[in-house]
């Protein structure tokens, strides 16, 4: 093998699917260098589509102190129905905490390598090529209270109820007032707009509404607009603890427990997925969890939702596995994901990761 010219080896391995290339890279240092070289990456840039994976965020207690298992990124491959792991030991930070991903790059919080210092940095990296870049320094409070939203490698936002930080490729963060009516729930970035659910109700009864703001408005007037139409009726009232998930293109998914009635402490009959078309502003039902699967979630006081596009994952305490809604094929299906690593309290959180060798921080 060593006697073959590098160009010949590149042509041979470029015919393999990305999954097989990743396996070959782990065989030896020689293959790792061969299959991550700039010339090989250039060859496969138009031949190997990214892998659509579901990545897990470490449990919250991993975010506070160093735990060895948090130095890797656990991902699930829905097409092969198996778990994979990407080491993060190439990062010069303690306790890396992945929080988001876009275009093959992972964004994570990392503790400064010097223990006396408690500063945290937002880092962007590609776990496949082990390349990374540190974004301009931020205070630790942003990592505790802010939601990291990413749409491309030059558009990053850290959003809280009171303020927002925006990074667009320059060497500094721009800070703006948020002026939201309450803490934003499950904010998402769709093209040039931010969408979030806010509770405008009373201390005794929640009333969720959908708010949005374009990035340009956030920079100037900080004006958030409530999205609503008379035709929507009680779309926000039928769901308990709704969350937003970005769909494909201009679609937004809203997920929550389907209330059995409008009473204050109504029970839920299932978990419902609604889809909003941002062009027509019309809602449609995208899916609802099968009754037998929902029985496992009924006794949990809360559940977590993550995903994107045509895949949404659900987790809850004491279940020990994930429920997956998958609509990537012509027909939507619901199935269980077993063998969840490091689930901690059982409430798994995560994000979509489009793994590729051609993304550069």
Q: Assess whether pLDDT exceeds 50 at residue 63.
A: no
Q: Assess whether pLDDT exceeds 60 at residue 134.
A: yes
234-280 pLDDT, tens digit per residue, is 899 899 889 999 999 999 999 999 988 777 677 889 999 999 999 99
Domain 50-355 has CATH 2.120.10.80: yes
Contact present, 308 and 351 (Cβ < 8 Å): yes
Compute the mean pLDDT over every residue in the chain, rounded to the nearest whole number: 85
Q: Look up residue 11 and give its DSSP letter.
A: H
Residue 3 or 93, more confident: 93
Q: Assess whether pLDDT exceeds 80 at residue 42.
A: no
In this predicted structure, what is the pLDDT of residue 19?
76
In this predicted structure, what is the pLDDT of residue 47?
66
Looking at the chain, which residues constitute the CATH 2.120.10.80 domain(s)?
50-355
CB atoms within 10 A of CB 345: 12
What is the mean pLDDT of the segment spanning 349-357? 92
283 strand-pairing partners: 276
Q: Assess whether pLDDT exceeds 80 at residue 148.
A: yes
78 burial via Cβ count (<10 Å: 0-12, 13-18, 19+): middle
In this predicted structure, what is the pLDDT of residue 359?
85
* Residue 196 CB partners (closer than 8 Å, separation 6+): 159, 180, 184, 185, 186, 187, 188, 210, 211, 212, 244
Q: Assess whether pLDDT exceeds 50 at residue 67.
A: no
- Spatial separation of the C-alpha atoms in residues 331 and 314, rounded to whole Å: 19
């Amino acid at each position: 093998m060593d006697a073959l010219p590098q160009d010949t080896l590149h042509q041979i391995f470029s015919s393999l699917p990305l999954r097989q290339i990743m396996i070959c890279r782990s065989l030896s240092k020689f293959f790792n260098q061969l299959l991550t070289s700039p010339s090989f990456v250039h060859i496969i840039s138009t031949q190997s589509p990214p892998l659509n994976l579901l990545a897990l965020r470490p449990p919250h207690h991993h975010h506070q102190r160093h735990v060895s298992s948090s130095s890797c990124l656990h991902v699930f491959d829905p097409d092969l129905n198996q778990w994979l792991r990407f080491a993060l030991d190439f990062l010069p930070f303690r306790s890396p905490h992945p929080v988001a991903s876009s275009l093959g790059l992972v964004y994570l919080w990392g503790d400064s390598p010097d223990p006396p210092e408690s500063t945290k940095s937002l880092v962007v990296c590609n776990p496949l090529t082990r390349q990374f870049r540190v974004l301009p320094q931020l205070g630790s409070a942003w990592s505790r209270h802010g939601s990291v939203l990413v749409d491309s490698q030059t558009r990053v936002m850290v959003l809280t109820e009171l303020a927002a930080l925006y990074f667009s490729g320059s060497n500094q963060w721009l800070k703006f007032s948020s002026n939201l009516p309450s803490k934003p729930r499950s904010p998402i970035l769709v093209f040039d707009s931010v969408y979030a659910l806010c509770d405008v109700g009373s201390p005794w009864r929640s009333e969720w509404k959908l708010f949005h703001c374009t990035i340009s408005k956030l920079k100037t007037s900080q004006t958030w607009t409530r999205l609503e139409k008379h035709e929507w009726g009680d779309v926000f009232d039928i769901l308990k603890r709704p969350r937003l998930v970005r769909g494909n293109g201009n679609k937004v998914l809203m997920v929550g427990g389907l209330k059995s009635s409008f009473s204050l402490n109504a029970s839920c009959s299932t978990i419902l997925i609604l889809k909003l078309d941002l062009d027509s502003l019309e809602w449609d039902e995208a899916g609802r969890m099968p009754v037998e699967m929902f029985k496992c979630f009924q006794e949990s006081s809360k559940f977590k939702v993550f995903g994107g596009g045509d895949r949404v994952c659900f987790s809850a305490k004491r279940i020990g596995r994930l429920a997956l809604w998958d609509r990537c094929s012509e027909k939507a299906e619901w199935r269980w994901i077993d063998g969840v690593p490091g689930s901690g309290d059982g409430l798994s959180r995560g994000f979509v990761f489009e793994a590729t060798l051609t993304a550069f921080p």
